[in-house]
């Protein structure tokens, strides 16, 4: 079992990242037989306009956040993508197999480029090819991601199959998305449950950030959009109630229960009772992570040392597959 996943070092870690990905990465550290590679996708972060000084800060900040959330450098390789040039190299080799049509179907590109498609960077378009390289380089079998990344990982699988077929050799393992159960796979905005919780939402009230203090967390939950009805006693009763469904899903993920168990506790009660309980559960989960983050971010030398060590391990792990890909294509290197 080879576990590989990444996160863009843009802004704060939010509850969607934590429940959809990071806390599942940390849970996978319990698997003794697995190797794990987690990285900060800084090459992906430059596909849109950015501030270089901010990116430099964000890489350290995100590394600190992952460590605070429980990523253990003794059990996982933690590194910055740009420290391992093989990612960019393999991306080119794969770009010559990936098809325009496949990339044109990617919903994230459509959403991010919007009406301004002609002005989008080429990198934004080929973003999923780099993402395929990220996981194929380490022969990933499991790629733990939230629902929104599923399409990209399925594309990586197509690219792997197609490349192997093209060269007549099993150069790459076929990666598979590994999505969490329940609603955590897709945590929605607190203001509008038809959008996912996201760092790019202009309203900070739409998300819970890892850096929010307890009062802010409680206030955001208090103000989260809901409906006036009491909670039902079964999931069918949430069908037409996306906001209620989202909050119940968050409660289930945060307290490690099923949504049914949450409804069994709160059936018949309104949000006046449910929201304070959810707020407290979030404070209990996030408070200790935030405290660790504050200590970790002060120690830049330690963060850099962890990232340097991770990069060295990742470079060594990536080399055999990259060499194999060059050779299979008949290239001289």
- The reply on whether position 321 binds ligand TYM by CB under 6 A is no
Which CB atom, from 7 or from 293, has the smaller least distance to ligand TYM?
A: 7
Q: CB 320 → ligand TYM: shortest distance, Å?
A: 19
Q: Which of 196, 275, 290, 297 binds ligand TYM (CB under 6 A)?
A: 196
Choose the stretch contacting ligand TYM; rule: CB under 6 A; options: 48-56, 144-152, 158-166, 232-240: 144-152
Q: Which of residues 174-193 bind ligand TYM (CB under 6 A)?
A: 185-187
Task: State which residue, 185 or 262, has the beta carbon closest to ligand TYM.
Answer: 185
Q: Is residue 205 exposed (0-12), middle (13-18) or buried (19+ Cβ within 10 Å)? A: middle
- Nearer to ligand TYM by Cβ, of 55 and 327: the residue is 55
User: Which are the contacts of 121, defined by CB distance < 8 A and separation ≥ 6?
Assistant: 47, 48
Task: Give me the catalytic one of 112, 150, 220, 324.
Answer: 112
Q: Establish whether 199 is a catalytic residue.
A: yes
Residue pair 29/36 in contact by the 8 Å Cβ criterion: yes
Which x/- pattern over 197-236 shows residues binding ligand TYM (rule: CB under 6 A)? Answer: xx--------------------------------------
Residue of 106, 143, 190, 248 interacting with ligand TYM (CB under 6 A): 143
Q: How far apart are the first and last CA of the chain?
A: 29
Residues contacting 277, CB < 8 A, separation 6+: 251, 266
Bridge partners (DSSP) listed for residue 77: 37
Query: Helix H segments across 203-258?
Result: 214-223, 242-254
Interacting residue with ligand TYM among 84, 145, 218, 251 (CB under 6 A): 145
How large is the greatest C-alpha to C-alpha distance in the chain, in angstroms? 70
The two counts, helices (H) then strands (E), for the chain are 14, 5
- By CB under 6 A, name the one of 3, 23, 40, 41 that touches ligand TYM: 41
Helix (H, G, I), strand (E, B) or coil at 163: helix
Q: Which is nearer to ligand TYM, 124 or 327 (CB)?
A: 124
Q: What is residue 7's DSSP assignment?
A: E
In angstroms, the CA 30 to CA 59 distance is 26
Applying CB under 6 A, which residues contact ligand TYM? 5-8, 16-17, 20-21, 41, 44, 131, 134-135, 143, 145-146, 148-149, 185-187, 196-198
Residues labelled catalytic:
112, 196, 199
């Amino acid at each position: 079992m080879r576990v590989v996943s990444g996160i863009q070092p843009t802004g704060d870690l939010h509850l969607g990242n934590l429940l959809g990905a990071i806390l599942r990465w940390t849970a996978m550290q319990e698997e003794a037989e697995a190797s794990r590679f987690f990285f900060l996708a800084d090459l992906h972060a430059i596909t849109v306009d950015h501030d270089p000084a901010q990116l430099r800060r964000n890489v350290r900040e995100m590394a600190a956040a992952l460590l605070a959330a429980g990523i253990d450098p003794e059990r996982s390789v933690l590194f910055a993508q740009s420290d391992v040039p093989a990612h960019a190299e393999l991306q080119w080799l794969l770009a010559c197999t990936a098809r325009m049509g496949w990339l044109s179907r990617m919903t994230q590109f459509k959403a991010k480029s919007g009406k301004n498609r002609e002005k989008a960077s080429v990198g934004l378009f080929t973003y999923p090819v780099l993402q395929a390289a990220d996981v194929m380089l380490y022969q990933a079998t499991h790629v733990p991601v939230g629902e929104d990344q599923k399409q990209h990982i399925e594309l990586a699988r197509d690219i792997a199959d197609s490349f192997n077929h093209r060269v007549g050799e099993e150069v790459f393992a076929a990666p598979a998305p590994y999505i969490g159960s329940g609603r955590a796979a897709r945590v929605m905005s607190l203001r509008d449950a038809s959008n996912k919780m996201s760092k790019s939402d202009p309203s900070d009230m739409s998300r819970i950030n890892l850096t929010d203090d307890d009062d802010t967390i409680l206030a955001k939950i208090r103000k989260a959009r809901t409906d006036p009805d009491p909670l039902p006693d079964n999931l069918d009763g949430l069908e037409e109630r996306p906001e209620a469904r989202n909050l119940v899903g968050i409660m289930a993920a945060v307290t490690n229960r099923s949504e049914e168990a949450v409804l069994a506790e709160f059936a018949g009660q309104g949000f006046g009772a449910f929201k304070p309980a959810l707020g407290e559960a979030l404070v209990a989960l996030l408070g200790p992570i935030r405290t660790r983050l504050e200590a970790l971010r002060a120690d830049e030398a330690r963060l850099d040392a962890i990232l340097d060590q991770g990069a060295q391990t990742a470079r060594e792990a990536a080399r055999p597959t990259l060499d194999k890909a060059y050779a299979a294509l008949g290239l001289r290197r």
